[in-house]
């Protein structure tokens, strides 16, 4: 259950901390901040799941500088404060126990994940910066996708948000992102970045405060407006902290900590793992149906490279029929592509596009992936309480890869379903054993423990949590999401869609039970 308290002094304390010069004064101010019960724990949510899903694979090289001795821990708060103060930005970076908890998460507990994100940032940050610069928005907003997706363009949340910037279906469509069976522009780094910039600009016009904007980006304007209303009109993140959804409370501190980690990683002996993503690219406009395998067979560009550079194409197909679409390729392959263009489109045309139509026979289904290089296939049978993220963690693979290999949509799996997993050939025997393990044993191999004193089935736990934390509404004949939202001040139809993982607001039916909002 959400707890609602008004602490008008939180932000003032943070500002005083930033201004404190004497170390004793700093210590006293930090102590005062802790009495406001911000806590020093990390809020669980999709952000931490994204971070946990980041795995070291063959795609990432060893850091150029490796750890030869210990890394700094238990730094004085004054060090964090001074460093945050030194960041040149129109955003202020306050410090408190919650920010500290997230800084320690990045710099101590999740060091390898930060190494990977630093490597990915070399490719993605210039794209974000170009869009932000053109709109004259703070460059530091480029750290939002670290929290939203851990810089994974195929990240897909439990609520249905997708891409680097985690757009919901409705919001994405509102900002011009196309989503259909073949294309998901929410995964397109360039288009989604432009949409995110436009969304952030609109939010800033509404709030005039970047931390309220960041909070609204996470939980929606409806929840922020409700928190402002219930706090008596206060328009400061820290003063409405306990009025916000639990995950959003950690979102702004996580953003501040991400800015810290990206700027001071070397001080914590963290260095990038370079990602095997082509840095120099070119764009070719495609005006006919084209399959990635046609391009790969003729030009030699690996299919995986085409997927990495074009994550918006959901089925390895550029569906160019009525309009042209962009295909990103390595710049050193541009001349070859242009020279061999006719051969590329003609290669096994009937196999991929019979009668030049965007329909492929099941025998040649393009969405069934071949075994990754140097990998072997093992199987896992879904059991009660399993989730895509858990299974991926047990097998040390990306959740996005597990979904891709098994055509999983919206993380929906069912008991008894057999999943294919590709694992290193030299570890097949190890991973084959997982299918026969108990839940506790599988959690143990991931470094987690299960409380056996009160065994409660996962589905029962979920239902207990849901029933105790949310208000519900039973749909009646003639209802729609807009009319339902009007019954609850501060709730929008987008909020209801997000809570219930709805992609089409018109598809609700009488008798359906919908989550409306967290209980107060």
390 located within any domain? yes
By C-alpha distance, which of 277, 75, 307, 312 is closest to 179?
312
450 located within any domain? no
Residue 148 annotated as catalytic: yes
pLDDT attached to residue 322: 83
Q: Pick the catalytic residue: 130, 148, 274, 335?
A: 148
User: Band of the pLDDT at 12, cuts 50, 70, 90?
Assistant: very low
Give the residues across from 60 on adjacent strands: 275
Strand bridging mode 513-518 / 470-474: antiparallel
Q: Show which of 229, 244, 268 is a domain's final residue.
A: 268
pLDDT attached to residue 64: 62
* This prediction's pTM: 0.62
In which residue are the tokens 């392959």 written?
A: 333
User: Band of the pLDDT at 94, cuts 50, 70, 90?
Assistant: very high
Helical H segments across 231-361, by residue range: 246-264, 292-299, 303-309, 334-339, 341-346, 349-352
Same domain, 285 and 259: no
Q: Residues 142-155: pLDDT tens digits?
A: 999 999 999 999 88
pLDDT attached to residue 471: 83
Residue predicted with more confidence, 176 or 371: 176
Same domain, 235 and 321: no
User: Helices 221-230 and 189-207 meet at what angle, rounded to 10?
Assistant: 20
| CATH number for the domain that contains residue 136 | 1.10.530.10
Per-residue pLDDT at 262 exceeds 70: yes
pLDDT attached to residue 254: 94
Average pLDDT over every residue of 398-419: 81
Per-residue pLDDT at 296 exceeds 50: yes
Question: Rg of the chain over CA atoms, in angstroms?
Answer: 24
Q: Are 421 and 453 in contact (CB under 8 A)?
A: no
| Residue 479: domain span | 458-518
Phi and psi torsions of 335, nearest 5°: -60, -40
Same domain, 345 and 486: no
2 located within any domain? no
Per-residue pLDDT at 477 exceeds 60: yes
Same domain, 184 and 55: yes
Average pLDDT over every residue of 401-417: 80
257 located within any domain? yes
Residue predicted with more confidence, 269 or 398: 269
| CATH number for the domain that contains residue 389 | 3.10.350.10
370 located within any domain? no
Per-residue pLDDT at 53 exceeds 70: no
pLDDT attached to residue 454: 43
Helix (H, G, I), strand (E, B) or coil at 3: coil
Same domain, 355 and 394: no
User: Band of the pLDDT at 392, cuts 50, 70, 90?
Assistant: confident
146 located within any domain? yes
Residues 6+ apart with CB under 8 A from 255: 143, 144, 147, 214
Same domain, 67 and 185: yes
> Tokens for 279?
């840095």
pLDDT attached to residue 379: 92
Same domain, 176 and 316: no
By C-alpha distance, which of 354, 331, 355, 338 is closest to 298?
338
pLDDT attached to residue 505: 62
- Measure the CA angle with vertex 238, ends 242 and 86; round to 5°: 145
d(CA 313, CA 319): 9
In which residue are the tokens 């609700």 written?
A: 508
Average pLDDT over every residue of 204-208: 94
User: Band of the pLDDT at 69, cuts 50, 70, 90?
Assistant: low
Helix (H, G, I), strand (E, B) or coil at 185: helix
d(CA 282, CA 326): 10
User: Band of the pLDDT at 518, cuts 50, 70, 90?
Assistant: confident
Q: Residues 219-239: pLDDT tens digits?
A: 899 999 999 999 999 999 999
Residues 6+ apart with CB under 8 A from 416: 381, 382
In which residue are the tokens 């952000």 written?
A: 47
285 located within any domain? yes
Per-residue pLDDT at 5 exceeds 80: no
Same domain, 321 and 437: no
274 located within any domain? no
pLDDT attached to residue 227: 94
Q: Residues 346-370: pLDDT tens digits?
A: 999 888 887 777 764 444 444 445 5
> Tokens for 35?
């009495």
Name which of 50-59, 135-144, 193-202 the model is least confident about. Answer: 50-59
pLDDT attached to residue 35: 34
407: left (phi over 0), alpha (psi -120 to 50) or beta: left
For residue 461, the Cα-to-chain-centroid distance in whole angstroms is 25
Longest Cα–Cα distance in the chain: 78
pLDDT attached to residue 126: 94
pLDDT attached to residue 52: 52
Q: Show which of 364, 383, 416 is a domain's final residue.
A: 364
Same domain, 221 and 301: no
- Nearest 10 degrees: Cα torsion 196, 201, 206, 211: 70
d(CA 456, CA 464): 10
pLDDT attached to residue 410: 65
The rounded percent of the chain whose pLDDT value lies above 90 is 43
> Tokens for 45?
């949510």
User: Band of the pLDDT at 253, cuts 50, 70, 90?
Assistant: very high
d(CA 271, CA 53): 19
Query: How would you label 330-367 residue by residue, b for 16+ Cβ within 10 Å and e otherwise?
Result: beebbebbeebeeebbebeeeebbeeeeeebeeeeeee
Same domain, 85 and 223: yes
Name which of 102-111, 133-142, 156-165, 368-377 the model is least confident about. Answer: 368-377
Q: How many other CB atoms are there within 10 angstroms of residue 239's CB atom? A: 20
> Tokens for 166?
């985690």
Name which of 262-266, 433-437, 474-478 the model is least confident about. Answer: 474-478
Helix (H, G, I), strand (E, B) or coil at 515: strand
Same domain, 167 and 207: yes
Same domain, 262 and 141: yes
Strands (E), 205-324: 281-286, 290-291, 317-318
Q: Show which of 309, 344, 364 is a domain's final residue.
A: 364
Work out how many domains the chain is built from and give that number. Answer: 4
């Amino acid at each position: 259950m959400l707890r609602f308290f008004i602490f008008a002094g939180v932000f003032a304390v943070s500002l005083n901390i930033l201004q404190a010069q004497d170390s004793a004064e700093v210590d006293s101010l930090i102590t005062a901040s802790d009495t406001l019960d911000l806590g020093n724990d990390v809020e669980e949510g999709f952000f931490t799941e994204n971070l946990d899903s980041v795995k070291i694979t063959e795609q990432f090289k060893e850091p150029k500088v490796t750890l030869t001795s210990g890394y700094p821990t238990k730094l004085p708060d004054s060090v964090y404060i001074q460093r945050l103060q030194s960041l040149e930005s129109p955003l202020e970076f306050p410090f408190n126990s919650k920010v500290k908890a997230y800084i320690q998460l990045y710099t101590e507990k999740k060091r390898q994940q930060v190494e990977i994100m630093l490597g990915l940032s070399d490719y993605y940050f210039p794209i974000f910066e170009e869009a932000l610069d053109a709109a004259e928005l703070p460059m530091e907003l480029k750290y939002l996708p670290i929290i939203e997706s851990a810089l994974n363009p195929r990240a897909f949340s439990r609520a249905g948000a997708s891409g680097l910037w985690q757009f919901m279906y409705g919001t994405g469509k509102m900002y011009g992102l196309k989503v259909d069976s073949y294309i998901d522009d929410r995964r397109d780094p360039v288009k989604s970045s432009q949409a995110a910039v436009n969304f952030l600009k609109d939010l800033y016009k509404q709030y005039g405060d970047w931390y309220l904007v960041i909070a609204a980006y996470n939980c929606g304007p409806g929840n922020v407006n409700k928190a402002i209303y219930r706090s008596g009109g206060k328009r400061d993140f820290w003063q409405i902290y306990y009025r916000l959804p639990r995950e959003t409370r950690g979102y702004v501190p996580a953003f501040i900590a991400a800015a810290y980690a990206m700027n001071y990683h070397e001080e914590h002996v963290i260095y990038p793992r370079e990602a095997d993503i082509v840095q120099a690219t070119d764009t070719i406009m495609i005006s006919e149906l084209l399959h990635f395998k046609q391009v790969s067979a003729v030009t030699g560009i690996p299919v995986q490279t085409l997927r990495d550079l074009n994550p918006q194409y959901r089925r390895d197909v550029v569906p160019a029929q009525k309009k042209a679409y962009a295909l990103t390729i390595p710049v050193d392959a541009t001349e070859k592509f242009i020279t061999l263009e006719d051969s590329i489109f003609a290669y096994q045309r009937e196999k991929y596009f019979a009668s030049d139509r965007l329909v492929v026979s099941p025998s040649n289904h393009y969405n069934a992936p071949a075994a990754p290089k140097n990998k072997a296939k093992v199987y896992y049978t879904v059991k009660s309480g399993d989730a895509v993220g858990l299974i991926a963690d047990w097998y040390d693979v990306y959740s996005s890869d597990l979904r891709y290999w098994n055509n999983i949509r919206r993380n929906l799996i069912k008991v008894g379903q057999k999943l294919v997993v590709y694992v290193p050939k030299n570890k097949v025997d190890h991973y084959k054993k997982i299918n026969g393990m108990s839940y506790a044993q599988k959690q143990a191999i991931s470094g987690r423990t299960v409380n056996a004193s009160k065994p409660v089935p996962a589905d029962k736990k979920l239902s207990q949590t849901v029933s105790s934390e949310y208000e519900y509404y039973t749909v009646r004949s003639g209802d729609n999401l807009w009319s339902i939202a009007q019954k609850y001040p501060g709730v929008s139809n987008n909020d209801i869609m997000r809570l219930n993982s709805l992609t089409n607001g018109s598809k609700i039916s009488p008798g359906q039970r919908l989550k409306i909002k967290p209980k107060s």
